[in-house]
C-alpha cells in the first residue's frame, strides 16, 4: 500500500507541469495518504478511522477531478449535473463505509460462538473448572446502557465524540468503573468479562490523548489565575459542568472516573482503553478464570493487536501468568472457537514482536507445565473427504460416492475411540 501511494505521489507531482491546479490538489491528497499509511506513534490505531479516512481521500480525489478547472473532468460533457454525480459518489462511499462498519461491529460480537463451544469443554473438565455462576446481570446491564451512548449505529465514534464529548467521556468512565469496582470478586469479574461484548467495548472505549492534554492545560491555566479570580470562576465552572452533563444525560462527571484514580498505580486519566487493558491483563489478571482469559485473548484478536501499543504485551502477560493444567486448557480454548482466530494465528501473525513471541513459546514449551497437566490427546484431521464428503466438488475434494457434506459412516465413532484412548 505504501509503494502504491508513493507512485501516486510521483505521478501527481509530475502532473503539476500539465495541470497545476488539479495536480496540486491531487499532490496534497496523495501526500496526506502517504502520511496516513506511514507507521508511527502518532498514527491512528482504530479501524473506524481507517475507513473514514479512506472515504475522505476518495471523495477528495473525486472533488478535485470534477471541480478543478484544468482537470480532465472539467472537459467532460455536462450530461448530468456534476453535483449530482459527486453527491452520488459520496453517497456510495458512505454506504460502503457504513456496511463495512456494521460487518466489523458484528465481528466484535463473535464471542457467543466461542462461549457455546467452550461450555462443552469446561463441562468435561468438572466443577472445579467451571465458571462460578454469580449474578452479575446488573453490572452487565449497566455496561450495555453506557455502551449505547458511545456506540451509535448510524454515526462513527469520532462524530459522536465531537458533538457529545461530555457524554462519551462519562460513559467511558462508567464502563471502566464497572470493571474496576473493588467489590467485585474474582468469580464475578470473570463472569462479567465473559458475558459482555468485550471486543466491542475495547473498540469503542478509546484513549483520549488530546483531551487529556487539553484538560491538563486548562487546569494549569486555572492554577495560574489570581486567587480572587479563581474564587469567582469556581462556582460558574461547576454550574456549567452540571448543566452540560444534564443536557447530555450524563450521570457521571465528564472529568473522569468516580473512584479515586490516584489510589491505582499506573492509572492514566482519559486513557480508558489503556486502563481497562491494564486492569484485566495485569492488575487483576490473577483473579480471572481460564475462560475469562481466553475471552480476553479472543477480544484482542478480533479487535486487532495493532489497536493498542500494549496489546502484544497483554497477550504475553496472559500466557506467562497461566500455568499447569490451566495453561493447557487455555490453549485448548484458543483453538476451540470455530474461527480462524486460533492459537497459531495469534502467536505467528498477530504478535509481531520477536522477543515477545519467543518468550511466549518458551513458556508454552516449558516441561513443568506438561508434568502438572493431565495427559490429553489432540486429534488433527482434515475435513473434506476425510470427515465429510466433498461430493466431488473442486477444490474441496474428489469423492463423489456420497452427497455433499455427508458424514462418513463410522467416522464419529472412530474419532471417539481415538479420543478415549
Task: For residues 347-371, give the mean pLDDT.
Answer: 86
Give the Cα separation of 324 and 99 in Å (integer).
Answer: 44
What is the value of pTM for the model shown? 0.70
Cell 452540560, located at residue: 244
pLDDT, one tens digit per residue, over 209-224 is 666 566 556 666 666 7
Lowest mean pLDDT among 44-48, 125-129, 216-220: 125-129
Q: Residue 138: which of 185, 187, 182, 196 has the closest Cα? A: 196
What's the pLDDT band for 379 if we cut at 50, 70, 90? confident
Of all helices (H) and strands (E), which one includes residue 214? helix 209-224
Give me the pLDDT at residue 105, please: 72
Give me the pLDDT at residue 358, please: 95
pLDDT, one tens digit per residue, over 253-309 is 444 444 444 455 567 777 889 999 999 999 999 999 998 999 999 999 988 888 888
Give me the pLDDT at residue 416, please: 82
What's the pLDDT band for 49 if we cut at 50, 70, 90? low
Give me the pLDDT at residue 216, please: 58
Peptide bond into 344 cis (omega under 30): no
Give the Cα separation of 176 and 258 in Å (integer).
Answer: 10
Give the Cα separation of 364 and 352 in Å (integer).
Answer: 17
Q: Residue 33: which of 15, 55, 14 has the closest Cα? A: 55
Cα 39 to chain centroid distance, Å, stands at 18
> Could you report how far apart the first and last alpha carbons of the chain are, in Å?
51
What secondary structure does DSSP assign to 100-147, as a single string?
Answer: HHHHHHHHTTTHHHHHHHHHHHHHHH-GGGSPP----HHHHHHHHHHH
Mean pLDDT of the chain: 75
Give the Cα separation of 112 and 116 in Å (integer).
Answer: 6
CA distances from 63 to 59, 71, 89, 183, 245 (A): 6, 10, 10, 56, 39
Amino acid at each position: 500500500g505504501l509503494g502504491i501511494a508513493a507512485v501516486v505521489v510521483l505521478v501527481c507531482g509530475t502532473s503539476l507541469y500539465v495541470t497545476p491546479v488539479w495536480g496540486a490538489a491531487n499532490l496534497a491528497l496523495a501526500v496526506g495518504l502517504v502520511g496516513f499509511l506511514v507507521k508511527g506513534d502518532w498514527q491512528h490505531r482504530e479501524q473506524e478511522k481507517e475507513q473514514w479516512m479512506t472515504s475522505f481521500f476518495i471523495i477528495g480525489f473525486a472533488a478535485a477531478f470534477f471541480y478543478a478547472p484544468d482537470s480532465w473532468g472539467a472537459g467532460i460533457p455536462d450530461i448530468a449535473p456534476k453535483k449530482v454525480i459527486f453527491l452520488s459518489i459520496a453517497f456510495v462511499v458512505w454506504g460502503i463505509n457504513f456496511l463495512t462498519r456494521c460487518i466489523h461491529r458484528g465481528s466484535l460480537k463473535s464471542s457467543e460462538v466461542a462461549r457455546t463451544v467452550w461450555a462443552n469443554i469446561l463441562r468435561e473438565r468438572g466443577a472445579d473448572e467451571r465458571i462460578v455462576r454469580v449474578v452479575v446481570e446488573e453490572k452487565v446491564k449497566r455496561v450495555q446502557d453506557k455502551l449505547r451512548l458511545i456506540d451509535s449505529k448510524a454515526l462513527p465514534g469520532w462524530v459522536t465524540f465531537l458533538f457529545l464529548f461530555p457524554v462519551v467521556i462519562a460513559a467511558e468512565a462508567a464502563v471502566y468503573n464497572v470493571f474496576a469496582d473493588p467489590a467485585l470478586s474474582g468469580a464475578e469479574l470473570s463472569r462479567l468479562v465473559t458475558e459482555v461484548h468485550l471486543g466491542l467495548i475495547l473498540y469503542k472505549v478509546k484513549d483520549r490523548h488530546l483531551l487529556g492534554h487539553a484538560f491538563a492545560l486548562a487546569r494549569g491555566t486555572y492554577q495560574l489565575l489570581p486567587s480572587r479570580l479563581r474564587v469567582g470562576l469556581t462556582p460558574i465552572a461547576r454550574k456549567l459542568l452540571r448543566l452540560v452533563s444534564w443536557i447530555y444525560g450524563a450521570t457521571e462527571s465528564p472529568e473522569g472516573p468516580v473512584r479515586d484514580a490516584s489510589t491505582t498505580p499506573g492509572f492514566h486519566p482519559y486513557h480508558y482503553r489503556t486502563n481497562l487493558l491494564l486492569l484485566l491483563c495485569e492488575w487483576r489478571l490473577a483473579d480471572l478464570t481460564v475462560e475469562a482469559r481466553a475471552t480476553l485473548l479472543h477480544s484482542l484478536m478480533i479487535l486487532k493487536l495493532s489497536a493498542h501499543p500494549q496489546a502484544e504485551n497483554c497477550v504475553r502477560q496472559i500466557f506467562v501468568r497461566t500455568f499447569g493444567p490451566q495453561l493447557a486448557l487455555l490453549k485448548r480454548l484458543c483453538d476451540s472457537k470455530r474461527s480462524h482466530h486460533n492459537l497459531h494465528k495469534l502467536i505467528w501473525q498477530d504478535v509481531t514482536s520477536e522477543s515477545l513471541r519467543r518468550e511466549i513459546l518458551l513458556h508454552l514449551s516449558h516441561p513443568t507445565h506438561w508434568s502438572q497437566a493431565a495427559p490429553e490427546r489432540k486429534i488433527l484431521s482434515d475435513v473434506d473427504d476425510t470427515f465429510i464428503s466433498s461430493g466431488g466438488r473442486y477444490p474441496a475434494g474428489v469423492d463423489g460416492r456420497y452427497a455433499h457434506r455427508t458424514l462418513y459412516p463410522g467416522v464419529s465413532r472412530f474419532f471417539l475411540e481415538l479420543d478415549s484412548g
